């Protein structure tokens, strides 16, 4: 359908989507390591926000550079990025729903809580 420009659009779209999604996970891991497992630390949020801003700037620079490239099918690129992001959101949603998080709650009528 798109020929060689479509191939380049699909490859570049999937690589950029993977890189940006990996940067998000990496920023959370880096923030966690820098704050010694204190997710409420302002440093944690600062690291995640800084990486998000860098990603946003790099994304707009890439889009500006890629807008008139003759070797790239823009529609294939666009739909590849959309499919990758939606796929990632679906996987994140399933991971969130299936996560087993222990909850330490003492009920008012629990006699063994003492």
55-86: per-residue pLDDT in tens?
A: 999 989 988 998 888 898 889 988 998 999 89
23: containing domain: 3-96
Residue 101 lies inside a defined structural domain of this protein: no
Contact 72, 12 (CB under 8 A): yes
| Angle, CA of 70, 54 and 45, to the nearest 5° | 150
**pTM for the full model?**
0.69
Total number of domains in the chain: 1
Residues of the chain with pLDDT under 50: none
User: Is the residue at 82 inside a domain?
Assistant: yes
Q: Is 111 within a domain?
A: no
Instruction: Show the 3-state SS of 78-103.
Output: HHHHHHHHHHHHHHHHHHHHHCCCCC
- The answer to the question of residue 28 being in a domain is yes
């Amino acid at each position: 359908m798109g020929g060689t420009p479509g191939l380049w659009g699909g490859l570049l779209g999937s690589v950029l989507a993977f890189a940006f999604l990996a940067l998000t996970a990496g920023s959370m891991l880096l923030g966690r390591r820098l704050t010694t497992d204190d997710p409420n630390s302002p440093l944690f949020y600062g690291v995640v926000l800084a990486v998000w801003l860098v990603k946003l700037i790099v994304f707009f620079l890439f889009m500006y550079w890629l807008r008139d490239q003759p070797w790239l099918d823009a529609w294939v690129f666009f739909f590849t990025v959309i499919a990758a992001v939606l796929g990632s959101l679906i996987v994140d949603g399933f991971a969130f729903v299936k996560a087993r998080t222990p909850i330490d709650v003492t009920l008012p009528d629990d006699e063994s809580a003492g």
